[in-house]
A and B are shown apart, each in its own frame.
Chain A
Amino acid sequence: MAKKASESSEGPEPHAQAHADPPGQFVWTRKDLLGLDELSAEEITHILDTADTFKEVSTRSIKKVPTLRGKVAALLFFENSTRTRMSFELAASRLSCDTLLLTSKGSSVAKGETTLDTARNVAAMGVDIIVMRHGQSGAPHMLARNMPESIVNAGDGSHEHPTQGLLDIYTIRQRLGTLQGVRVAIVGDIAHSRVARSNILGLKKLGAEVVVVGPPTLVPQAMTAMGCEISHSLDDVLPDIDVINMLRIQFERFSSNLFPSLREYSRLYGLTAERLKLARKDILVMHPGPINRGVELTSDVADGPNSCILQQVTNGLAVRMAVLYLVSQGTE
């Protein structure tokens, strides 16, 4: 339902007529952001471009715009996450949007209320956007199917973490100028990683090449269905890539026997200064955080000149502002 820009920025409000963009320009229409899988390259680019605009807001003395004033964003975090939550809270606040926070501990969820009922009850208080992190793949899709409010996926099970994917891609674009032909390696527990999936999907759509790296138990052959290459050797992959994104290893994977020990993992797949010598001098080192120093990355790499990790966090704010703004304008 992409309407022409000249029509959509006018509407029945004549004051907007003077600011119509040339007809035929892309207009964002989605009311939800459930994943990068269903977005076109044009839509992803639109989000990144909009994030550029919001970066500028963060450089002003008054780091706020009244865009979503009077709107309410409910943050439903059924899975713990301090950083993503804070990032969304701040993004909403910068847009003058009020926020509500519900975490599952000690809430109605603990009493057995279903996800949909919890969301509906919160929405009934008068909520425009629901930002949800949930342990089950497809939970936000279920909400979007049953509720008129905008749904933003802040991470669903093993499926996607679209704003993380977007901010990773934004960071690469910012540093390298483009994604066409860029070679990106993602290292870690790919099979269970929603960050990996969102990255792979978004990067492929924008013309990058992706290789996923890790042991066969965490990076099974079936992952090629996502359109990426697979390697089980980090050393083999390093010389030939522009960006390396180190995923966080979760300790519970080891108790489930998918890998013998952290020591062995970091020996084979940890990024050290020594290993970094195998890579191009200007390789970008990224990590979604929080870092397990000494496991995925050593401190000298995490804090070194190739690291974009803090930039990722800063960019995350602009990207999330862009997402909240865009879905609030979505018509479908």
Chain B
Amino acid sequence: MAKKLTGKALEAALDRLYAAIVAALPNDRRIAVVGIRTRGETLGRRIVERLGKDLGTEVEFGVLDITFYRDDLSRRRGAPLVRATEIDFDLDGTWVLLVDDVLQTGRSIRAALDAIHDFGRPDTVRLAVLIDRGGRELPIAADFVGQKVDAPPGCRVQVKLKENDGEEGVRIIRRP
């Protein structure tokens, strides 16, 4: 189990990601950050907090659980707990930043886009991911990337955040 990114390296990636986001923020529309459960939510919260502190910008924050929108539900493999989606603001006409921890096939993002459009019609949707590990199955691209990581297909890239896991780092795990 090789650690690919240390806590420090993760912090650097997050900083790069943040800087790119700030540079692209519009100033003529409402801004909303929507984090995809579970670690996308954590990252989203951090981004919102930083935006509030650095820029004094009030930004809406929502959380999306995409379980009900996944396209692989026909494969039965048991059901862990789904938590509620919390988007209690109006999405119409907003500039939405979708946040997720790892981008690979693009299917989660497709599901997230479907879910968002059941809530309303945003003006723009941009995607920010901490790690892009390649391997797209759909034509989805991230607008903002913290770090590109090369992981062979049989492996899982696992992001650890202190709010969720008690530590910070990115690991590549060979799956059995």
Taking Cβ atoms with an 8 Å cutoff, the residues of A that contact B are: 1-3, 5, 8-11, 13-22, 25-29, 31, 46, 49-50, 52-53, 55-57, 60-62, 64-68, 70-71, 95, 325-326, 328-331
Contact = CB atoms under 8 A, between A and B. Distances in A.
B135 A14 contact: yes
Contact of A28 (B78, B105, B175): B78
A88 to B, nearest CB: 18
Contacts of A328: 73, 76
Contacts, number: 128
A66 B101 contact: no
A17 B39 CA distance: 11
B44 to A, nearest CB: 13
Contact of B175 (A10, A15, A46, A52): A10
Contacts of A31: 76
Given A1-B78, A65-B115, 8 more contacts: A11-B72, A17-B102, A26-B81, A50-B81, A65-B69, A70-B74, A326-B79, A328-B73
A5 B72 contact: no
A19 B101 CA distance: 9
Which interface residue of A13, A65, A68 has the most chain B CB atoms within 10 A? A13
A15 to B, nearest CB: 4
10 shortest interchain CB distances as A-B pairs: A329-B79, A67-B68, A15-B105, A65-B68, A15-B107, A18-B102, A28-B79, A27-B78, A5-B80, A56-B84
Interface in B50-104: 65-70, 72-86, 100-102, 104
Interface of B: 36-40, 65-70, 72-86, 100-102, 104-108, 114-115, 118-120, 135, 137, 153, 156-159, 164-165, 175
A9 B78 CA distance: 8
A65 B156 CA distance: 28
A300 B135 CA distance: 64
Contact of A330 (B66, B76, B105, B119): B76
Contacts of B85: 53, 56
23 contacts: A3-B77, A11-B72, A14-B156, A17-B157, A18-B39, A18-B100, A19-B108, A21-B81, A25-B80, A27-B79, A27-B80, A28-B79, A46-B81, A49-B81, A50-B81, A50-B82, A53-B84, A328-B73, A328-B76, A329-B79, A330-B76, A330-B78, A331-B76
Contacts of B108: 15-16, 18-19
Contacts of B164: 22
Contacts of A52: 84
A69 to B, nearest CB: 9
A25 B107 contact: no
B77 A18 contact: no
A14 B80 contact: no
Contact of B80 (A8, A15, A331): A8
